[in-house]
Structure 1
Amino acid sequence: MNKKIAEAFADGKAFIPFVTCGDPSLDVTEQLVYAMAEAGADLIELGIPFSDPTAEGPVIQAANVRALSGGVTTDKIFDMVVRIRQKTDIPMVFMTYANVVYSYGTESFIAKAADIGMNGLILPDVPFEEKKEFDSVCKTYGLDLISLIAPTSHERITRIAKEAEGFVYCVSSLGVTGMRSAITTDIGAMVKLVKAAKNIPCAVGFGISTPQQAGEMAAKSDGAIVGSAIVKLCEKYGADCVPHVKEYVTAMKEGVLRG
C-alpha cells in the first residue's frame, strides 16, 4: 500500500472529497485543494475530465463538459499537481477513465503521475477482471490502483479485496454518481466481507451529500467519499466557490468524525 494513502486512514475515519479538475478553472481547482486540506480532508480525489464518463451522473458529467470546453488537458492537470505538491503533501489520487490513460500512454501516464507525487489511481470503467495491464504498471511505479466494489459484486468481493491496494472504494448504490435522499445498501455487510479477506481501509462513495449521511456511512466503514455535492457548489458559485466548498468540507468532516 502507498504509505500516503495509509496515512489518510491512520487517525480514524477519513473524509475524501472529489473535484473535477478545471471546473471552473485549474487555478480554482488548485485553491480548492488547499482549502479542502485546511478544512480537514484526509485524501483528495482529482477527477481528470473525460468526454464520456460512464459512471457519472448529470452533475459531474456537466462538470466534465465545462472543464474540457475550458481547454483542460491531462498535461495541464499534471502541471497543476506539481504546483500543489510544493505547498501540501495531502494524499491525492486521480479518478478518470481507461481511455484517458490509454490515449496518454499507460506507462507514461502512470510514471508521470507517480513522479509528480500522486498516490493512487481510480478507473471506474475497468472491471476487476481487466485491471491487470494497469495494475502491473501501477505496482512498478508505486501507485495504488484503487479497487471498487458494488452492491452487486457479491461473491467477487472477496477476490477483489484480496488484491486491493490503498483502500477499497465501496459503491453505496447502483447506478451513477449523484446525491441521494437515502442509502439502503447494507454497507456493513460489504465492509465485513472485505475485511475478512484483507485488512484494508474501506471508504463509501456515491450518493452521500449531508453530514448525517457521511456519519452513518463512516460508522459502518473507514470513511466517506463525496463528489457531486461539491461539484454542485463549484457549478453554483463558479470562481467564488472556494469558501463555500471549504465550509462544506468542514461540516462533512465533522459528520464523519461523529460516525
Structure 2
Amino acid sequence: MTRIDAKFARLKAEGKKAFVSYVMAGDPDFDTSLELVKGLPAAGVDVIELGLPFTDPMADGPTIQLAGQRALDRGMTLDRTLDLVRAFREADTETPIVLMGYYNPIYSRTVPKFLEQAKAAGIDGLIVVDLPPEEDEELCIPAQAAGLNFIRLATPTTDDKRLPKVLQNTSGFVYYVSITGITGAAEAQATDVGPEVARIKAQTDLPVIVGFGIRTPEAAETIASVADGCVVGSAIVGELASGKSVSEVLAFVKGLADGAHRA
C-alpha cells in the first residue's frame, strides 16, 4: 500500500473528502518552493501534486507555464526537484507526493534510473500527461512494479468506449479533468461534473478527484461534494506569482482545503 492508498483509505474511514494542491517545484526559486511545500500539510492539504518544470508543457495554461519557466530560469532540474522532495521528507514521512509532468525528462534519465531515484527520494505517484494508455509498457507498468501509483486523467471527452482503457492500469486515484482545454481556462460546474464522476465510479473502485477550474473555497466545497475530493493548481500558483508571501499563499490554500473538507 502506497502513501496515496493509505491516505484515501483513512479519508474514507473518516467520511472526508480529499484536498489535493498543485505547486510547481522551484517556483519562484528552490528555497521559497520548499518552504511552501513544507507548509502545505498544516494548511490542510491531503496530497501534494508537485509539478516537474518542462520546456514544452502543452497541457498547461499560461499560469502554470509561466511558473515552470520561472523555475527553469532559476536552475530547476529533475535532480533539484528530487532534492526538494528529499528535503521535504526529512520532516514529513506521511503526506503523499505525486510528481506531475511530461515524459521527456524521464525518458532522458531512463525509466529504471528515474524510478529508482524517485522512489528513494520519497515520491509516491506519477501523473505523466503525454503518455496514453497505449504506452503503458513504457512507464506505467514499470512504475507500479516499483511501488509507485500511476494516476491517469479522464476528461469530458473520455467516452464509455475509451474509459475502460484509461482505467485499465490506473492506481491511486483517477484525476477527472472537469473542463475541456488547458489548466486555468474555465470554471468547473458541479452540475456537469457530478454525472461524469458517477459514470467513472461505475467502472472503478478508485477515488475520483476533480481538477481544473476550481478557484474558491465555495467551488472546492461544491466540486468535492460530487466527487471524492478536488485539486487546485492554477489558483494557488497564481497567488504566489502575484507576489504574495508564503504565509499568505498558505492561508489561501487553507481556505480552499477547508472548503473541500466541508463537502
Superposed pair shares fold, TM > 0.5: yes
Contact 2:2–2:148, Cα closer than 8 Å, also in 1 = no
How far 1:184 moved relative to its partner?
A: 6.7
Using the TM superposition, name which of 78-87 and 153-162 deviates more.
153-162
Q: Give the SS at the match of 2:151.
A: strand
Residue 236 (str. 1) matches residue 242 (str. 2) = yes
Query: In the TM superposition, what is the alpha-carbon distance from 1:182 to its structure 2 partner?
Result: 4.8
Helix, strand or coil for the counterpart of 2:27? coil
Identity %: 40
Q: Which ranges of 4 or more aligned residues in structure 1 deviate by more than 4 Å?
A: none
Correspondence 1:81 to 2:80 = no
Q: Which runs of 5+ in 2 are unaligned?
A: none
Q: Which of 111, 125, 128 does residue 120 from structure 1 map onto?
A: 125
In structure 2, what is the Cα distance between the partners aligned to 1:183 and 1:131? 31
Q: What is the TM-score of this pair, normalised by structure 1?
A: 0.94
Alpha carbons 1:92, 1:118 under 8 Å: kept: yes
Question: What is the TM-score with the length of structure 2 in the denominator?
Answer: 0.93
- Distance in 2 (alpha carbons) for counterparts of 1:218 and 1:184: 9
CA contact (8 A) 2:61 2:185 kept: no
Q: Distance in 1 between matches of 2:32 and 2:101?
A: 19
**Counterpart contact for 1:172–1:185, Cα < 8 Å:** no
For the pair 1:28 / 2:32, whether they are aligned, the reply is yes
Does structure 1 retain, via aligned residues, the 8 Å contact 2:2–2:149? Answer: no
- Alignment counterpart, residue 194 of structure 2, candidates 174, 188, 197: 188
State the AA in 2 paired with 1:198.
T
1:148 is matched with 153
Q: CA RMSD in A?
A: 1.5
Partner residue in 2 for 1:8: 7
Q: Specify the alignment match of 1:225 in structure 2.
A: 231
Change (3 A) 1:80 1:182: closer
Question: 1:78: how far off?
Answer: 0.9
1:134 corresponding residue in structure 2: 139
Write the letter of the residue equivalent to 2:34: E
**Cα–Cα, structure 1 residues 185 and 110, in superposed 2: closer, same or farther, change >3 Å?**
farther
Q: Which blocks of at least 5 consecutive residues in structure 1 are unaligned?
A: none
Query: Is residue 16–residue 44 contact of structure 1 (8 Å, CA) maintained in 2?
Result: yes
Q: Does 1:214 pair with 2:209?
A: no
Rounded to whole Å, the distance in 1 between the matches of 2:57 and 2:177 is 16
Q: Secondary structure at the match of 1:132?
A: coil
Correspondence for 1:247:
251
> Any idea what the Cα deviations from partners look like across 1:57-116, whole Å, max 9, x if unmatched?
000001111110111111111112111101012110100101121112122112211111
The letter for the 2-side match of 1:206 is F
Question: What is the alpha-carbon distance in structure 2 between the residues aligned to residue 212 and residue 21 of structure 1?
Answer: 27
Distance 1:144 1:168 in 2: 11
Match of 1:101 in 2: 106
Question: Matched residue pairs, number?
Answer: 256
SS in 2 for 1:139: helix
Does the 8 A contact of 2:152 with 2:166 survive in 1?
yes
